[in-house]
Amino acid sequence: MTSKVNNPESSDQRSSILEEKEKEKNKNNANLITEQKKKALELAISQIEKQFGMGSIMKLGGKPIIENIPSISTGSLSLDIALGIGGIPQGRVIEIFGPESSGKTTLTLQIIAEAQKKGGIAAFIDAEHALDLSYAKKIGVNVDDLLVSQPGTGEEALEIADSLVRSGSVDVLVIDSVAALVPKAEIEGDMGDAHMGLQARLMSQALRKLTSAISKSNTAVIFINQIRMKIGIMFGSPETTTGGNALKFYASVRIDIRRTGSIKKGDEVVGSRTKARIVKNKVAPPFKEAEFDIIYNSGISTEGDIVDIGSESGIIDKAGTWFSYGKERLGQGREAAKEFLRNNPDIKNEIMEKIMKHFNLKR
């Protein structure tokens, strides 16, 4: 009489084969589902592009968005470095705010001058009706080619801005200022009439409409804004900007600019020391600061930036009060070094190139 003996090894082999088959089946099913998803996605993308146009939807890996973003120099080397991309980003909303006489308009005029140097077209919507063309000319703005509008109402200003952006031909558009964008209802109303939240609603509606057009046109839209004080604030900063919260959210870059001191030549005040803080930046790390000189009737001092950044990065040697570049003595004291660079443009450009290379920036 023979007895059946179970072979544990053969049983394990059978279960292993069954597991492998199950895995293969699941893998084939997953591949089938993936292929079906791909086809469904391709169909959806083609329908979206057919309805809304090419580029209305895309893969981030297909086209770099943040990398190599085009920029316009601010005219300040230190601020370009702080912004992380060599200037303000194109195709984005930028807010520049600060107290009165802090250098807001000077900075925007300097940006316009830099854009024009590259052959760009610039527009200035002067809602404050206070643009000084002779000052703009001294800073380096080509006023003959500058598009200027002085609208009567906030709605008119923002409609003009929308038309210019949608044309796709303007590289930089400045709106000066948000506080001066007065709604039509307020202008036509009587003095003392309450118009709660009208300007905030106007800004919110305009930015909703403008944002997609700004991105497609590659226009850098700069809003200059003023500071107001909130009443009854016990803790935290009482400062706020005008025009509601919409601009804070829609802006890719927000620059807080402040005057920190005076620049004197003898007893005469010839300029102001200015600090700019990047309080918001969607294209590079935020919260960086830059300090630069604004010289009256000539704008931002490039030489001052070169001396400061060059000595900080080790490109310019500083021994006591003396500044030197290689074997070349630049001068004793910061102002003397600035004067030397002003009179020697070849050395100035050579140092600037080294600074740009050091910070991986292009100009």
Residue 8 annotated as binding site: no
The pair of structure tokens assigned to 136 is 């703009």
DSSP H helical segments within 87-153, as ranges? 104-117, 133-139
- C-alpha atoms less than 13 angstroms from C-alpha of 227 in its C-beta half-sphere: 16
**Beta strands of 34-127 (E only): which ranges?**
71-72, 88-89, 93-98, 122-126
Q: How far apart are CA 119 and CA 165, in angstroms?
A: 17
By the 8 A CB rule, do 195 and 153 touch?
no
Residue 252 annotated as binding site: no
Residue 104 annotated as binding site: yes
Adjacent-strand bridge partners of 94: 222, 253
Residue 154 annotated as binding site: no
Q: How far apart are CA 80 and CA 87, in angstroms?
A: 4
The pair of structure tokens assigned to 286 is 């935020």
Rg (alpha carbons) of the chain, rounded to whole number? 29
Residue 101 annotated as binding site: yes
Q: How far apart are CA 313 and CA 102, in angstroms?
A: 27
Residue 167 annotated as binding site: no
- Burial code (b: 16+ CB inside 10 Å, e: under 16) for 163-178 equals ebbbeeebbbbbbbbb
By the 8 A CB rule, do 340 and 331 touch?
yes
Residue 312 annotated as binding site: no
Q: How far apart are CA 59 and CA 252, in angstroms?
A: 21
Q: How far apart are CA 289 and CA 235, in angstroms?
A: 24
Residue 16 annotated as binding site: no
Adjacent-strand bridge partners of 241: 227
CA angle, 313 as apex, 302 and 103 as ends, to 5°?
Answer: 35
The pair of structure tokens assigned to 131 is 């643009």
For residue 118, count CB atoms less than 10 angstroms from its CB and return exposed for 0-12, middle for 13-18, buried for 19 or more.
exposed
Q: Which residues are annotated as a binding site for ATP?
A: 98-105
